[in-house]
Structure 1
Amino acid sequence: MTDCGCEKARRDLEEYLRNEVCKTQHSDITEHLRQCPECRDEALVARTLTDVVARACKEAAPEELRDLVMAKLREAQASH
């Protein structure tokens, strides 16, 4: 295991967080994040943002809101 450095860790961070890097790259980035507070903080922000977006995509809008939006869309289409 080697420290891959900030540039590589940041460049591959999204793939790392989605487990889309090979085992060697994963180990190298993990090692770097252990040693580098700045990259570790960036990884935490990226992971938190990814988790929040994923949760938001799973939530459905209330039925009343969906009905209102659809009515407005139909109204807008009818006026064109």
Structure 2
Amino acid sequence: MSDCGCEKTRRDLEEYLRHEVCTTSQADIREHLDNCPGCRDEALVSRTLTEVLARSCKEAAPEQLRDMVLERLRDAHVTT
């Protein structure tokens, strides 16, 4: 394996984290992350952000809030 460099690692980081790069690229990026604290930190931030966003997309608003918003939208539509 050869170090693929910071530029390539950062360019391909999102695809790497989603397991969307070929096996060779995956190994090269993994090796680079193992040896580059800056890129490793960036990968950690990206992974954490992705996980937080995924969790927030699974959360649903309380039904009472949903009903209140829909009622206000209907009221606003009627008055305009």
* Shorter-chain TM band: over 0.9
Distance in 1, matches of 2:24 and 2:73, equals 50
Report the counterpart of residue 63 of structure 1 in structure 2: 63
TM-score normalized by the length of structure 2: 0.95
Report how many residues are paired: 80
TM-score normalized by the length of structure 1: 0.95
Report the counterpart of residue 50 of structure 1 in structure 2: 50
Gaps of 5+ in 2: none
Percent identity at matched positions? 69
What RMSD, in angstroms, separates the aligned Cα atoms of the two structures? 0.8
Deviation per CA, 1:11-66: give whole Å up to 9, x if none: 00000000000000100000000000000000000000000000010111111111
Report the counterpart of residue 77 of structure 1 in structure 2: 77
Distance in 1, matches of 2:23 and 2:48, equals 23
Q: Which moved more, 1:66-75 or 1:3-12?
A: 66-75
Report the counterpart of residue 31 of structure 1 in structure 2: 31
Kindly state the Cα deviation for residue 78 of structure 1 after the two structures are TM-superposed. 1.6
Deviant stretches of 4+, over 6 Å: none
Distance in 2, matches of 1:35 and 1:8, equals 14
